Chains A and B, each alone.
Chain A
């Protein structure tokens, strides 16, 4: 094997949309890394830039969107230096992606089999017949009953859960090293959600893949991920391993997210939504982007943007509370009363 330590390292990624009303910074200096064979969760509310980050990785942004800077190191090589042709060889072959909407993500005028075969014919030079056989095999792998029949069906003949399985079959057909799953279960029924997550996990182990799981659902993260990047308003505000994050979240935003999540392990009076909404990219706060909604925010928070601070466990937090410059109460409690009672 070669010299890279992590299969993916993203450094200071910046993606903007250049609209008539000016530049909108959708992703603003995002960094994270993913060791081989592990799963990274990228969490955030809608509008936090998590999906744009995912699309940036494969350079699939649509028109006014453009990657402005940063590095995307995949197996040690910067994908941003690749030509469009080289990127095409990566897409669907080394890195695959599945999307949120299985209902609309499959082309309605082609059979399921054709759509799976297509990547095989592009990347593995299989002929039509071989590709079809492999497609049937893939459909079997993702647990679709009577794949010989399904392979010739059109997407409209399949249910939502089935279609997401087809999407997964399509994504995994060329045995990629990495899978980006952009909210793969959001559009599905709860029972189907669990099945799809199980399937992804099972196939990850079987095929030795690394996975990036984009989601707004911390429950999904807890179930599937090894690492988490919490995103807020185009930035990573906390990067941590999953155990530390759930045990002791550090960023007030992460704390807020966890509080708004129903939990079974501790008693909750009621769910507490985070007050306010994600700021629009056109009217970003000057200082910390979470400061308008943060219960602990001080003048420092509102005046200057905090940098990323690395703690003892090598986790990263973008919050003034953990810096030496902190001007507020040194004993500030961001957890609220329940946590104190818990210890």
Chain B
């Protein structure tokens, strides 16, 4: 390059690169129809969880625990949109009330996984060496219990309750976060500017919070979204097995489990809670896929 190109004055307006980046991600997210549908569904579900029970108490005729044994196991009808269960409770009302539970389980357990998994991943990737080795071997051990088994084992000793399910599913999510964050940290750590910042005398703490964390945010967000889907599935599975939420709580997995007994007389008792689980999990999966595509630097060209 000749000198005069180097010395040319910068005339372009100064823009915040990170802000520009977010704008671009938002633009790409808007283009991804599936992701938008997922996002809207999630917002809708949150609104239902927050306002649904209140609206039902104002305008609905049934409470979530209100029994009517004369009216049990009724199929879907105008009065009971999703029918009634074996105690004559309105399934639609119970499902609306269960939305809040489901979302809490999903968000909280993933939050636990993140709070523990992300620092472990950063420490592992940033410091490397022996500590990395130890952390990753521990993660390997946790991953050696396939699928639901780890959460199941934890709940089996802690005892079946909603709270313990959240803890168990949270622990079950730790390795996924630790691994992904470690990988991203490693690649950021290799960038030359991290060495430069360090040469300027920045502390590890500062480097991690100022430079590493913002750069590993995208994979964390993607992982968290997809992980909520897994968490909801796992938690409802535990409740289905009778190890999570206990009756009469309107938790969907537990409702499904109760409906199982009456499958031949009343298919709807098991159908609707399960279908709702599918919808919620689907929404998080679609949204997670969408933001992964939007954040994927490979597709930026």
Contact = CB atoms under 8 A, between A and B. Distances in A.
B is a partner of A? yes
Interface string B8-33: 00000000000000000000000100
A32 B31 CA distance: 41
Q: Chain A interface mostly helix, strand, loop or mixed? A: loop
A206 interface: no
Interface in A1-23: 20
B30 to A, nearest CB: 13
A272 interface: yes
A20 B33 CA distance: 14
A270 B1 CA distance: 10
A273 B1 CA distance: 8
Interface residues on A, range: under 10
Contacts of A273: 1-2, 5
Contacts of A20: 31
Interface in A241-278: 270-273
Nearest to A260: B2
A20 B1 CA distance: 36
A273 B4 CA distance: 10
Nearest to B1: A273
A271 B1 CA distance: 9
Contacts of A270: 2
A272 B2 CA distance: 8
Contacts of B31: 20
Contacts of A272: 2
Interface string A7-51: 000000000000010000000000000000000000000000000
Nearest to B3: A270
A273 to B, nearest CB: 6
A271 B4 CA distance: 12
Contacts of A271: 2
Interface string B101-142: 000000000000000000000000000000000000000000
Nearest to B31: A20
A273 B5 CA distance: 9
A270 B5 CA distance: 13
Contacts of B2: 270-273
Interface string B28-45: 000100000000000000
Specify which of B2, B5, B31 lies most central, judged by the most chain A CB atoms within 10 Å of its CB.
B2
Contacts of B1: 273
Interface in A169-215: none
Nearest to B5: A273
A270 B31 CA distance: 48
A63 to B, nearest CB: 15
Nearest to A275: B5
Contacts of B5: 273
Nearest to B8: A275
Interface string B259-279: 000000000000000000000
Interface string A85-98: 00000000000000
Interface in A263-310: 270-273
A273 B2 CA distance: 8
A273 B3 CA distance: 11
A116 B31 CA distance: 43
A271 B2 CA distance: 7
Nearest to A272: B2
B300 to A, nearest CB: 15
Nearest to A270: B2
A334 B1 CA distance: 22
Interface in B27-77: 31
B60 to A, nearest CB: 45
A20 B31 CA distance: 10
A273 B31 CA distance: 39
A257 B10 CA distance: 25
A62 to B, nearest CB: 14
A20 B27 CA distance: 14
A338 to B, nearest CB: 16
Interface string B237-275: 000000000000000000000000000000000000000
B8 to A, nearest CB: 10
B258 to A, nearest CB: 49
B33 to A, nearest CB: 12
Interface in B205-245: none
Nearest to A271: B2
B32 to A, nearest CB: 12
B276 to A, nearest CB: 35
B235 to A, nearest CB: 39
A277 to B, nearest CB: 12
7 contacts: A20-B31, A270-B2, A271-B2, A272-B2, A273-B1, A273-B2, A273-B5
> Shortest 7 CB-CB distances between A and B: which pairs?
A270-B2, A273-B2, A271-B2, A273-B5, A272-B2, A273-B1, A20-B31
